[in-house]
Chains A and B, each alone.
Chain A
Amino acid sequence: SYELTQPPSVSVSPGQTARITCSGDALPKKYAYWYQQKSGQAPVLVIYEDSKRPSGIPERFSGSSSGTMATLTISGAQVEDEADYYCYSTDSSGNHRGVFGGGTKLTVL
């Protein structure tokens, strides 16, 4: 079955740039979405269609995709950005199944 692979953890100091990657064979053909989940809360969409930012999401959040890898970048990470981040995409076969990456714990300290 199709899988998206993320690093389990990323750690940065406040003000530094955090980059979280997501790799998957279908990403050249399918969009990636990124979700932020803080402890005890529902996920929040932070990037859609590889690189678009929903209204209300700070400009320090950006996304890109090249080949089989999508990247979420947080420029000037803040303490409040500490959370779990998940990428999401769909299988490239005709079965239209969704899939999440395993999640990345971002620590900002």
Chain B
Amino acid sequence: EVQLVESGGVVVQPGGSLRLSCAASGFTFDDYTMHWVRQAPGKGLEWVSLISWDGGSTYYADSVKGRFTISRDNSKNSLYLQMNSLRTEDTALYYCAKAMTTVTVLSGMDVWGQGTTVTVSS
């Protein structure tokens, strides 16, 4: 069974840093692009970032570019999101998601984790 389990979400003060993790199982992790998507309380989905299968290509939403860094460790079947200079507007449930195909980084997602909650508050 394909499974994604996020962790690392906590309450952090504005300006602080945090690293989220996503443990993957049930599929060949290093074949697939991976995404982070977030959802603020009561709001819609917002795409955050993606990383190619080998980590060689990364892309970010304008709202997080320069503050967040996506990375992966294929030897550990793990995806990460380093979040720096956090703002109150970064408060959200953060999901990791697996791309649907191996062919292109442009593929949408087919499997999602249950998310981990980040709260930025003083």
Contact = CB atoms under 8 A, between A and B. Distances in A.
Nearest to A52: B100
B19 to A, nearest CB: 21
Contacts of A86: 44-45
Interface string A62-98: 0000000000000000000000101011100001111
B1 interface: no
Contacts of A33: 100, 108-109
Contact of A97 (B47, B95, B108, B114): B47
Given A42-B114, A100-B44, A103-B45, A95 B59 contact: yes
A43 B112 contact: yes
Nearest to A90: B106
Nearest to B60: A97
B81 interface: no
Interface in B72-122: 95, 100, 105-106, 108-110, 112-115
B2 interface: no
Nearest to A54: B110
Contacts of B61: 97-98
Q: Closest 7 interchain pairs by CB?
A: A33-B108, A98-B47, A103-B44, A42-B112, A100-B45, A96-B59, A90-B106
